[in-house]
Amino acid sequence: MMGIIFHRWKITDLVSRIVFLCLAIASSAHAEIESIHIIKSSDNDYFNRSIETIIKATKADIKYRISTLDSSGQLNQESLGEPDLVITLGIDAAEYTHDSVRDKSVIHSYITEFQRYQFNQHENHSALLLDQPLQRYLDFLKLIVPVKGIGIISTSQHAFNTVKIEQHQRQSGVKIEQRVLNDNDNLLENLRGLLKGNEVLLSLPSPQIYNRQTLKGILLTSYRMRKPVISYSPSHVRSGALAAIYASPEKIGIQLAELVNRLLSQPDYQLPAFIYADDFEVVFNRRVAESLDIELPDKAKVIQILKQGTRQ
């Protein structure tokens, strides 16, 4: 089974490489990078951990400038300057540079795939996505719980199209049922209906569905139905989801540093429009696993299998 997964990833990878290549041909080469401006949406621990990792993992002679947006989403009393590259952390910083930086290379981070679609990304802007590709979520899920069918809840804004769902169903061999909710739909009623016919709830970033207001009800309802939740967020796991796969702030920092180093070693390297972090972590809630009689696999082995798949 794993061989099939890896084989299919190879195809996916090939397709994305062709897309990136086309983008590369379509755009001009970079000048040599000497200065980088890192713009944070706000000042918080995870941004700072990523920045620390970027600086440690890139060449010492690069000049870094680090700024934080003010509460109105602007750079307070300072100009953007003339950096060779801009790295943004968080959606506010991404939106700020989208409006104010058109002629420089920009790498956005700490944004999800759907957030990237929210603004019309410039050609020389790239994004390191915070979430994982759907296929990786599915492969992760299958390594933890052997399932035939999973449920996904989303809104029309974040829903996957039928073609993509069918494609992933074929690749993973898992039936995917997606419920798309409108404003007036009853969340828990739909969740119950979804879980009646499926063995696992896969939660994917969708702020209207998964937020402080709804999380407790979702986790409690799933638990009551003895159906585990596999999530994108480690904080959901601490709250009661069974497991999550995610890129930690340090892994995001390393990935960003790798992109910078690539630009330094290959000045004509064209940044891809977007990439997923190919280094990630997994987290389990052993108490939930025990309550649901689920025997968790070895964490290191899960990561190893998923990384092998990513590399292939």
CB of 87 to another protein, least distance (A): 14
Q: How far apart are CA 153 and CA 188, in angstroms?
A: 11
CB of 238 to another protein, least distance (A): 3
20 binds another protein (CB under 8 A): no
CB of 288 to another protein, least distance (A): 10
65 touches 81 (CB < 8 A): yes
Quick one: which of 186, 266, 304, 308 contacts another protein (CB under 8 A)?
Answer: 186
For another protein, which is the closer residue by CB, 101 or 241? 241
Q: CB 76: neighbour CB atoms within 10 A? A: 10
**Angle at which helices 249-265 and 45-57 cross, to 10°:** 30
For another protein, which is the closer residue by CB, 13 or 43? 43
Using DSSP bridges, classify how beta strands 281-284 and 243-246 pair: parallel, antiparallel or unpaired: antiparallel
| Binding-site size, another protein (CB under 8 A) | 48
140 binds another protein (CB under 8 A): no
Cα R_g (the chain), whole angstroms? 20
The stretch near another protein (CB under 8 A) out of 8-16, 26-34, 236-244, 270-278 is 236-244
For another protein, which is the closer residue by CB, 64 or 223? 223
Q: How far apart are CA 134 and CA 203, in angstroms?
A: 11
CB of 239 to another protein, least distance (A): 5
For another protein, which is the closer residue by CB, 162 or 182? 182
CB of 200 to another protein, least distance (A): 18
Closest CA to 278 of 298, 296, 251, 257: 251
**Which of the residues 82 through 101 are near another protein (CB under 8 A)?**
89-92
Give the chain's end-to-end CA distance (angstroms, integer): 15
32 touches 158 (CB < 8 A): no
Q: CB 6: neighbour CB atoms within 10 A? A: 16
90 touches 128 (CB < 8 A): no
CB of 235 to another protein, least distance (A): 5
The stretch near another protein (CB under 8 A) out of 45-53, 120-128, 161-169, 272-280 is 45-53
The stretch near another protein (CB under 8 A) out of 2-10, 162-170, 207-215, 271-279 is 207-215
Can you count the helices (H) and strands (E) in the chain?
A: 12, 12
Q: CB 173: neighbour CB atoms within 10 A? A: 13
207 binds another protein (CB under 8 A): yes
261 touches 228 (CB < 8 A): no
For another protein, which is the closer residue by CB, 35 or 155? 155
167 touches 138 (CB < 8 A): no
Binding residues (CB under 8 A) for another protein: these are 41-47, 68, 89-92, 110-112, 115, 130-131, 186-188, 205, 207, 210-214, 216-218, 220-221, 223-224, 232-235, 237-239, 246, 249, 286, 291, 296, 298
